[in-house]
Amino acid sequence: MEKVKVGIVGCGNISGIYFKNMTQVFEILEVKACADLDMGRAKAKAAEFAGVKAMTVDELMADPEIRIVVNLTIPKAHAPVALRAVQSGKSVHSEKPLSLTREEGKQLLKEAKQHKVLVGGAPDTFMGAGIQTCRQLIESGAIGTPVAATAFMMCHGHEGWHPDPEFYYEVGGGPMFDMGPYYLTALVNLLGPVKRVQGSARISFPTRTITSEKKRGKVVQVEVPTHVAGIMDFESGAVGTIVTSFDVWRHHLPCIEIHGSEGSLVVPDPNGFGGTPLLFKKGEQDWKEVALTRPYAENSRGIGVADMAYSLLRKRRKHRCSGLLTYHVLDLMHAFHDASANGKAVKVRSKCEKPALMPEGLKPGQLDA
């Protein structure tokens, strides 16, 4: 199989699983290089994975063999790094969120179109076996017509375990921008795009004290809402509820449920690839576990990059983690904050399509049957 050469920018915590999967799982990818502001981190990753060369960002962007830049930088660097990649004639897949602002996101999509390259981004977890099986169930009519959805992501923040938690409380962070993309992308994949949102948000604690090592005792000023509750009107007619919070100690709420005219569906954690869907059908007495019908139940981060590579080689094939999808999710997250700040519903102007359902029976490392 023809391979697409990839360069990774950003060698922090999340990069390990990308390196592993893109060098060992997805046969269409070849990781040629990696870069980081800390050259020591780049060299360490290059030494860990055979065939990968540590480069400066300038060198990586200038390498004509690299066709996809995988942008694993911190949120405030997502747009500048992605824009530079696009202007260098490279497609780019960024960690979430796509950018900090709508304006940055729009500029990125415009430049990508002008340079005839692809833009997309995380999360790609919706391509995993758990959510794809739920998508197949919905489309086969297992719960009838979807009428409602609920989504909950609630914890008490990251300052107790993350070594560098400050950015979770800066602009571009917070529970909606940090974890909301997993839930919103899953919901759009299952139910389609959203046309209107309402929301309420607050900063519950103005400061956070880091209790993890290496910065124990440092006080962080909170710049973004840490509890966000939203309501979504989907174009399909379904009504969704989402709550994301860094202010909750414990809870018993499900990650995602979809309720239809003929039954209900418990969707596995959208921050993972597998899980066990639960189906309740009208007339039955209890939930039933559903066997996974699609591949990639293990941690398959990087599958969205591989999907982009397939689309680069097969020009008419749309990639699933598209720029329109990632921008629509960015637009939704801002809309919840805007609705809260302005005290009124927000009409969502961005549009996207539901990504194509993953095929059955794929061989490990492949995405097309």
**Segments making up each domain of the chain, as ranges:** 4-121, 126-289
Instruction: Give the architecture (CATH level 2) of 4-121.
Output: 3-Layer(aba) Sandwich (3.40)
Cα(240)–Cα(138) distance, rounded to whole angstroms? Answer: 16
Contact (CB, 8 A) for 274 and 268: yes
pLDDT of residue 52: 98
Question: Is the fold of 4-121 the same as that of 126-289?
Answer: no
**Secondary structure string (H, E, C) spanning the chain:** CCCEEEEEECCCCCHHHHHHHHHHCCCCEEEEEEECCCHHHHHHHHHHCCCCEECCHHHHHHCCCCCEEEECCCHHHHHHHHHHHHHCCCEEEECCCCCCCHHHHHHHHHHHHHHCCCEEECCCHHHCHHHHHHHHHHHCCCCCCEEEEEEEEECCCCCCCCCCHHHHHCCCCHHHHHCHHHHHHHHHHHHCCEEEEEEEEECCCCEEECCCCCCCCCEEECCCCCEEEEEEEECCCCEEEEEEECCCCCCCCCCEEEEECCEEEEECCCCCCCCCCEEEECCCCCCEECCCCCCCCCCCCCHHHHHHHHHHHCCCCCCCCEHHHHHHHHHHHHHHHHHHHHCCCEECCCCCCCCCCCCCCCCCCCCCC
pLDDT of residue 185: 98
pLDDT of residue 322: 98
Instruction: Give the architecture (CATH level 2) of 126-289.
Output: 2-Layer Sandwich (3.30)
The number of angstroms, rounded, from the C-alpha of 318 to the middle of its chain's C-alpha atoms is 17
Contact (CB, 8 A) for 31 and 38: no
Cα(153)–Cα(22) distance, rounded to whole angstroms? Answer: 28
Q: What is the pTM of this model?
A: 0.96
- For residue 22, the tally of other CB atoms under 10 A from its CB is 25
Name the one residue in this structure whose structure tokens are 């329109």: 324
pLDDT of residue 238: 98
Cα(300)–Cα(313) distance, rounded to whole angstroms? Answer: 21
**46: closest CA among 11, 74, 22, 70?**
11
pLDDT of residue 13: 85
pLDDT tens across the length of the chain (369 residues): 799 999 999 998 899 999 999 999 999 999 999 999 999 999 999 999 999 999 999 999 999 999 999 999 999 999 999 999 999 999 999 999 999 999 999 999 999 999 999 999 999 999 999 999 999 999 999 999 999 999 999 999 999 998 889 989 998 899 999 999 999 999 999 999 999 999 999 999 999 999 999 999 999 999 999 999 999 999 999 999 999 999 999 999 999 999 999 999 999 999 999 999 999 999 999 999 999 999 999 999 999 999 999 999 998 899 999 999 999 999 999 999 999 999 999 999 999 999 999 999 999 999 997
pLDDT of residue 1: 79
pLDDT of residue 315: 83
Q: How many CA atoms lie within 13 A of 17 on its CB side?
A: 13
Contact (CB, 8 A) for 6 and 67: yes
